[in-house]
Amino acid sequence: MLQGLTCPRCGSRNIAIVASGSLTYKCLNCGHTWTPTVQGLGYVSTKAGEIHWTELKKLAEEAQVNAHKALNEGVRDCDALIKRLQEQYGSYLDTREIIKIALLSVKRYMEEVRYRDPQLFNELVRELERCRKLYHGS
Ligand SMILES: [Zn+2]
């Protein structure tokens, strides 16, 4: 999710921010965590420019809420959901992160409708599978 950042241990670009007292990065590939020494201020560079990591975290949470709202409004299509998030948060969150948020939102929504609407649940199972392929293919 963070541009130009690689894991110092394994070189993976699959890096996430961990919410803790100070800015901490976590490699999603090998699990290594570290604190950047250069950006002491806690700013992360995105397409839209430098942004503080707490703001970025907030945006990711907001994206999650919006994804849930979209599902509630009847958006069932994974691509539509991702496109919507991309339009709103594409300048801050990268595609991989957005797909991850969409995936998580569908998963949560599934649990909500599981017993209330089994047909919808099944529909979402298929959609989630599609979403997963997108996530792992990118
Ligand atoms: Zn790593």
The model's pLDDT over 39-75, given as tens digits with 9 standing for 90+, comes to 556 777 788 888 888 888 899 999 999 999 999 999 9
Sorted by where each begins, the domain ranges of the chain are 15-40, 53-137
Q: How far is the CA of 138 from the centre of ligand 1 (A)?
A: 18
Q: How far is the CA of 125 from the centre of ligand 1 (A)?
A: 31
Q: How far is the CA of 9 from the centre of ligand 1 (A)?
A: 5
pLDDT of residue 3: 56
Around ion ligand 1, which residues have CB less than 5 A away?
A: 7, 9-10, 12, 27, 29-30, 32
Q: How far is the CA of 112 from the centre of ligand 1 (A)?
A: 34
Confidence of residue 1 (pLDDT cuts 50, 70, 90): very low
Confidence of residue 137 (pLDDT cuts 50, 70, 90): low
The DSSP code sequence of 7-32 is -TTT--S-EEEE-SSS-EEEETTT--
The model's pLDDT over 4-42, given as tens digits with 9 standing for 90+, comes to 678 889 999 898 888 666 778 899 999 999 877 655 567
Tokens of 43: 């700013």
